[in-house]
Amino acid sequence: MKNTIESCLHCPVGCKSFRYLTSGEMDFVNDNRYEALFRPGEILVKQGSPSSNALFLFSGLSKTYVENNGSKNMILGIDKPGELILGQGAFTEMRNNFSVAAITSVKACFIGFDVFRHLIRSNGAFAESLLEEMSMKSQLIQNRMVSLAHKKMPGRIAEALLYLSDSIFGSHSFEMILSRQELGDMTNMAKECVVRILREMEESGVIKSDSSGIRILDSDKLRMILEKG
């Protein structure tokens, strides 16, 4: 497919670390990217496959998840425009250690990892910024692990809802892009339990769970549920 975005230099979305590149380096990236369009449900990155590319999410939403034993998935997070999807595997065994699937329609740029390798070596500020990005993701995973381990179901659901509200949509009211099953995959709960907790939260007036959306009514209470575990 021909690239439709004019140039990285004028990319309206923009990746944080790319800010540290010179315009020459930007051109280098631009010459080595490949746009792709994905329909909802399609796989952008498959766990286990060689991680030869980073993926820059231009538009749409995707989910990053780990496939465990064929059946059980664990959703690590939702990716929104501007996200640089660059698995840790790229720096270790060159295999993707998670899958990524489109939730909505997605436009993304593939950028060869050799491009990154080159930029890391030649541009220290870029390398440092990349370390920062990777560190932030690693911290998120670590925090998630502790939450899953120590918090009970209501706390975990609260965390997921606040994650969607704060980090993804930036709004107290958002479209529910995840099925109950997927919310369960994110909070390590059976889908039936997700349903029950959401109902309880609705009954106690913390949220309003509309047909296809969620509205956080009492954000303080929700945050308290998160804290108390």
Partner DNA sequence: AGCAACTGATGATATATATCAATATATTAC
Partner DNA sequence: GTAATATATTGATATATATCATCAGTTGCT
CA gap 184, 190 in Å, rounded: 6
Stretch that binds DNA, among 10-18, 60-68, 122-130, 187-195 (CB under 7 A): 187-195
Among 192, 205, 213, 227, binds DNA (CB under 7 A): 192
Distance between CA atoms of residues 80 and 102, nearest Å: 10
With binding defined as CB under 7 A, does residue 153 bind DNA? yes
- Which of 140, 181, 217, 219 touches DNA (CB under 7 A)? 181
- Taking CB under 7 A as the binding criterion, the range among 8-16, 97-105, 127-135, 182-190 that sits at the site for DNA is 182-190
**Are the C-beta atoms of 149 and 213 separated by less than 8 Å?**
no
Buried b (16+ CB within 10 A) or exposed e, 93-120: eeebebbbbbbeebbbbbbebebbeebb
As measured in angstroms, the least distance from the Cβ of 143 to a copy of itself is: 8
Residues contacting 137, CB < 8 A, separation 6+: none
Q: Does residue 215 interact with DNA by CB under 7 A? A: no
Q: Which of the choices DNA, a copy of itself, none does residue 195 contact, using the CB cut-off of 5 to 8 A by kind?
A: DNA
Site string for DNA, 158-177 (x = CB under 7 A): --------------------
Q: Is 212 in the site for DNA (CB under 7 A)?
A: yes
φ, ψ (nearest 5 deg) of residue 41: 95, -20
Strand order of the sheet with strand 106-112?
A: 33-38, 106-112, 53-59, 84-85
The SS3 of residue 94 is: coil
225 binds DNA (CB under 7 A): no
Q: Per CB under 7 A, which region of 54-62, 109-117, 126-134, 179-187 contacts DNA?
A: 179-187
- For residue 94, the partner it binds in DNA, a copy of itself, none, with Cβ less than 5 to 8 A by kind, is none
Nearest Cα neighbor of 10 from 29, 36, 38 is 29
- Picked from DNA, a copy of itself, none, the partner binding residue 132 (CB below 5 to 8 A depending on kind) is a copy of itself
Find tokens 């009492």 and name the residue: 218
Residues near DNA, by CB under 7 A: 152-154, 179-181, 188-193, 195-196, 198-199, 209, 211-212
